[in-house]
């Protein structure tokens, strides 16, 4: 595991975007696993800028988002579909037919999970999986539990997770109770994982995830078993590392 700590957000953002653009420059058909939440926003802004400067093209890339809320129309401002339009897809030349996000409004969620896994299977291995980290150690929406699922599945969100995401909604009670998420098996199959964490409120979970015991009670700790993880931290998030 390669842990890099940055003193400035700008350097962190440039490093994160640089890794992604470097990959897509050398492999235009790269398969990217993408994340939502506050953490990747500024990295996406750097990608948009690199694309504007014609330093990178996403025309041949394929993308898979980690997760989506159940029961939110994709045009709802807080859906992850809208998030991706607002922060990346609306500004770069990625082909919409190759940008995949689970459909949280599917009439059969079970079938939707199977459809998503089939698409992932068809695309082959994810070349780079971008990840943020939840305060409870979740990755994607894989919440701490005594057992974790490998493939795409429906999860019940923990109250802590709903509270953390309430800032994206008008009212806290509007945060959906369930989501569809890629499983940890799919995440761990990626060739490379780029985990990005910012802020002192994540310092403790960063230490548990990266240096604590490997346990499904902290899903991000499973990343310790992966051969190629790059972690980008700001100095606050890295503050409790041994």
Ligand X SMILES: N[C@@H]1[C@@H](O)[C@H](O)[C@@H](COP(=O)(O)O)O[C@@H]1O
Residue sitting closest to ligand X (CB): 132
Comparison of 58 and 69: residue with beta carbon closer to ligand X = 69
CA distance 241 to 80: 31
Q: By rule CB under 6 A, what count of residues binds ligand X?
A: 14
Separation of alpha carbons 238 and 242, rounded Å: 9
Is 100 among the catalytic positions? no
Stretch that binds ligand X, among 10-18, 91-99, 118-126, 128-136 (CB under 6 A): 128-136
Q: Identify residues 48-77 at the interface with ligand X (CB under 6 A).
A: 66-67
* Cβ-Cβ contacts under 8 Å for 204 (sequence gap 6 or more): 240
Among 13, 165, 186, 221, binds ligand X (CB under 6 A): 165
Angle at 102 between CA 19 and CA 199, to 5 degrees: 45
User: Given the DSSP bridges, would you call strands 178-181 and 99-100 parallel, antiparallel or unpaired?
Assistant: unpaired
- Rounded to a whole number of angstroms, the minimum distance from the CB of residue 212 to ligand X is 18
Contact call for residue 82 and ligand X (CB under 6 A): no
Residue 130 contacts residue 192 (beta carbons within 8 Å): no
Is residue 140 within the footprint of ligand X (CB under 6 A)?
yes
The β-bridge partners of 179 are: 69, 155
Identity of the residue, 21 or 36, whose beta carbon is nearer to ligand X in the bound complex: 36
The question of whether 136 is a catalytic residue gets the answer yes
What torsion do the CA atoms of 89, 90, 92, 95 make, to the nearest 10 degrees?
60
Tell me the catalytic residues. Answer: 67, 136, 138, 143
Residue numbers of the site for ligand X (CB under 6 A)? 35-39, 66-67, 132-134, 140-141, 161, 165
């Amino acid at each position: 595991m390669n842990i890099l700590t940055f003193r400035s957000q700008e350097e962190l953002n440039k490093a994160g975007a640089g890794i992604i653009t470097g990959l897509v420059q050398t492999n235009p058909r790269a398969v990217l696993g993408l994340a939502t939440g506050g953490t990747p926003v500024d990295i996406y802004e750097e990608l948009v800028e690199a694309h504007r400067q014609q330093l990178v093209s996403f025309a041949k890339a394929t993308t898979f988002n980690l997760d989506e809320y159940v029961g939110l129309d994709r045009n709802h401002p807080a859906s992850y579909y809208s998030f991706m339009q607002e922060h990346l897809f609306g500004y770069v030349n990625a082909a919409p037919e190759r940008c995949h996000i689970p459909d949280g409004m599917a009439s059969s969620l079970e079938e939707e999970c199977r459809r998503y896994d089939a698409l992932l299977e068809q695309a082959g291995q994810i070349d780079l999986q971008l990840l943020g980290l939840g305060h409870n150690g979740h990755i994607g929406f894989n919440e701490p539990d005594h057992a974790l699922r490998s493939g795409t599945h429906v999860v019940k969100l923990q109250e802590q997770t709903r509270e953390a995401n309430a800032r994206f909604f008008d009212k806290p009670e509007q945060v959906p109770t369930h989501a569809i998420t890629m499983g940890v098996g799919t995440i761990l199959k990626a060739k490379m994982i780029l985990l990005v964490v910012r802020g002192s409120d994540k310092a403790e979970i960063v230490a548990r995830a990266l240096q604590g015991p490997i346990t499904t009670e902290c899903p991000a700790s499973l990343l310790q078993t992966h051969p190629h993880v790059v972690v980008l931290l700001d100095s606050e998030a890295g503050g409790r590392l041994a």
